[in-house]
Every structure is written in structure tokens, then in C-alpha cells.
A and B are shown apart, each in its own frame.
Chain A
Amino acid sequence: SQKIEQNSEALNIQEGKTATLTCNYTNYSPAYLQWYRQDPGRGPVFLILIRENEKEKRKERLKVTFDTTLKQSLFHITASQPADSATYLCAWRGTGGKLIFGQGTELSVKP
């Protein structure tokens, strides 16, 4: 079956370092992936989209890569700040318009 998986272990890093989160997919080839941020008790907020023909996409301190050979997207936050602490989710749009999310990775940035 088609799956999208994120590292379920929380990621703890020091302020100023680069956080790297992983999204792996199996048994399909998404045309694009989306990344969202979710704060406790809130709905997710869209951050960035990368299409299959874009190897890399940048937006301010965010950088996303899309490797169709490895079936993987990497999400980087450079110069991380405590305010970046949240859960980050990747998502892909399947047939018919449905949007499927990974389980999310919790990021904690310590001062």
C-alpha cells in the first residue's frame, strides 16, 4: 500500500544549528510534497511545497529537497530558534484530490 513515513522520534537540537527532518514514501511517486507546521492545540499551517521536478526549494530559513530515486524529502531549518519548536508534517496528494499526511516529527530547539 502507499505509505508516507516520518521519523516518529522527537528531534532535539541546540539553537543556531540546522534541523533536518525526513519524509519517506513507498509504493507511489507523488507529483509534489507539502510541509506543514503544527503547534500544540492548533491546526497545521502550510510552510512550503516542492514538486517532483524541483530538486531543491528554499524559503527564508527553510530548505526542502526531493529525491525521487531515494523516495525521500528532506526538510531543513537553518539557524534554528526556540520558536521553531513544533511538530512538522509532510503530506502528499493522492488520486482524486485526497491529501495524506505523515505522522509528524516533533522538533525541540533548546536555547
Chain B
Amino acid sequence: NAGVTQTPKFRILKIGQSMTLQCTQDMNHNYMYWYRQDPGMGLKLIYYSVGAGITDKGEVPNGYNVSRSTTEDFPLRLELAAPSQTSVYFCASSYSMGQMGTGELFFGEGSRLTVL
């Protein structure tokens, strides 16, 4: 059971370049999330999705875009990379919060991005 898989694990970008961080989950979760974590800081929500075709902004969406064409995949797009986007990016997924469930998030291993 792979869980949540993120690629790439590491990437160095030049200012102004674009790239896509890939995220795939095999647990049939309807909720998916992208967070960024700066050194010594907590997780900041970038975008999230409650199902295929539905996405919404989180706390820090500027400079990013997402799409959710399937239940399994939730890619994060950086269009014009800036040094401020240097961070570790985590993708996560969960079931919706049911009466008996915990709604716990399952996280990927992270993607470390450096913009120079």
C-alpha cells in the first residue's frame, strides 16, 4: 500500500522557472491538501480539494495553482518561481470527517524545493 506519493523529492529551480509537484494517493480519499513548511515553522495550507473537480484556496495560495481531474492525483503548479517559494512541500489526503471517523490526514514524504 503506497499511501501518498510525492515527486520529485528534491528540486532546484532558477527564479522565473515553472514546475509541477506531483501527488498521488491510492486510498480513495476524497480530500487532498498541499502544505508548505518553512524551517522551524508549522504547516501552511496552500490549496485543498474536497473531490475531483473541486479545489479551493488555503492560507497562502499566491504563486501556486492546482487541479484535481481525478480522485487520485492533485498536482501543484508553480508558474514563476521566486526565492520566497523555497520550502518543503507536503501533500496529504483524508476521508471526509464522518461521524465515526477521525478525518486524519495521511502525508507524503515531502518535496524539498530550492529557488535560486
Q: Tell me the A residues contacting B by CB distance below 8 Å.
A: 6, 32, 34, 36, 41-46, 49, 89, 91, 93, 96-104
B56's contact among A6, A42, A98, A103, by CB below 8 Å, is which? A98
Tell me which residues across on chain B come within 8 A of A104, comparing CB atoms.
41-42
Contact (A44, B103) CB under 8 Å given A96-B56, A97-B50, A100-B59: no
Tell me which residues across on chain B come within 8 A of A44, comparing CB atoms.
43, 90, 105, 107
Name the prevailing secondary structure of the A interface residues: strand
How extensive is the interface on chain B, given as a class? Answer: 20 to 34
Contact (A101, B43) CB under 8 Å given A45-B107, A49-B104: yes
6 A–B pairs (Cβ distance < 8 Å), ordered by A: A42-B110, A43-B90, A43-B92, A44-B105, A99-B45, A100-B45
B102 close to A (CB within 8 Å): yes
CA separation between A97 and B97, bound complex, in Å? 8
Q: Tell me the B residues contacting A by CB distance below 8 Å.
A: 4, 31, 33, 35, 41-45, 48, 50, 56, 58-59, 90, 92, 94, 96-97, 102-110
Contact indicator A46/B109 (Cβ below 8 Å) = no
